Structure 1
Amino acid sequence: MDQQNTDISVLAGNSRVYLNNDAVIVVQAQLHAFDAALRFSRQCLDNGRTLPRLSVAFDHFGIFRLQFLDQNLSNAQKRRPRLSHLHPSIRHIFQPVADRYRIALSDIRAIHEDSARQHLAHTLATADIPERLTRRMLTAAPALGVHADHGDKAQKLTCAAITKEYFARAAGDHRQPNTLLEVFFEDSAWSDSLSYVRGLQLSHLLGVPAAIRLNLVNEAGEVRQGEQMTPR
């Protein structure tokens, strides 16, 4: 793939937010992945390219729009929030890294699990998806991690299906054959490496045309770069 003619999108980690027993927001942020993704994006800018389309995925308990957004937002901002639209306690976690690389929180999209689930449910209800693929998207048993605790109906969606939706949304308007989605992630209890691999495979099987590369970031901030995977 010609890097100079490639539209680059970046998924900067898969963090998790929830309310504890005292109704205080807890943020389990993949900050190493976020840092590596923003460092990569700053390098793109310094090399004369445009800023990649940046996104962060959020798993969560509860209702994202009601519990994890800031106040006084427009309906459009609630539907498609940026990191700058999130609750101050969440913004506070990501702001220092964004400041380090001189990238505004308003330039980073927030992809949340509620929206991903709604779109997947609509797709499954209306699209003609082969059974061999729906078996990868649905399971009779609860999915692993945070995805498992959203009620009986939500439990039927697999982690691979949720991850596929994150990838498709992160690629965004650049979902063309010359698009490269760089995914930076950490191996965590709610976001394991196998789910990312299965999500990548499912993305291409369901028609996402972008090339996707998985970049695993360890606790030292070191990046293990995968190969660019393109649809067959």
Structure 2
Amino acid sequence: MIRVQVVDDEALIRSGFELILDAADDIEVVATSTGAEAAGTVARLRPDVVLLDIRMPDVDGLTVLRAIRVMTAAPAVAMLTTFDSDEYIVTALKSGAAGFILKDTEPEQLASLVRTLAAGGVVLSPKASRSMLRAHPGHPAERDRAADPEVRRVGLLSGREREVLVLVAEGLSNADVGTRMHLSAGTVKDHVSAILTKLRVGSRVQAALLAQRAGLLGGDPGC
């Protein structure tokens, strides 16, 4: 079973997510909590996945995220937000979040997103990512790609590494990438390590965002 904790200041959101996720045979919501209770509950129950509201009046999501990230064997954390251009999302991703989920995501998609997180994948909606990047003037996504040194690093990747990067950005775990590309999990892990090194990023999420900015995911993030 995939053990999930839902953190939100609104009881209706917490109960709604719990109802939807508990309907899946392989997912169990082990706790719901407000921001103030979140870190302590995570430390006590050790869920596999935490769905964390990014904006809460008592203790904000970024503060909770930082507290979770320093825990031993920290769970995968995805930020919950109402806005696909939330100004705090970029900060959350840089702080170790494994992606973000819009609160109006279709109910039938939630279980799939949780499975992706539990498997070590990332959850980034291409449409939402483009909106998020557009909403930050001066962000490298607003500059010409050819003049963007970060985007140019994508050119250092081999063809196989680009294929792996696209699948990682689509949320696939190493095992899923291996199945799709007929590679061993160890080989995929080596490719991901090389990708992170060449792109000079510290996480799969940052690599996924760079893939989005480079136009590898079937849409121009700056349009």
Tell me the TM-score normalised to structure 1 length. 0.26
When normalised by structure 2's length, the TM-score is 0.27
Instruction: Report which of the two has the higher share of helix.
Output: 2
Larger strand fraction of residues: 1
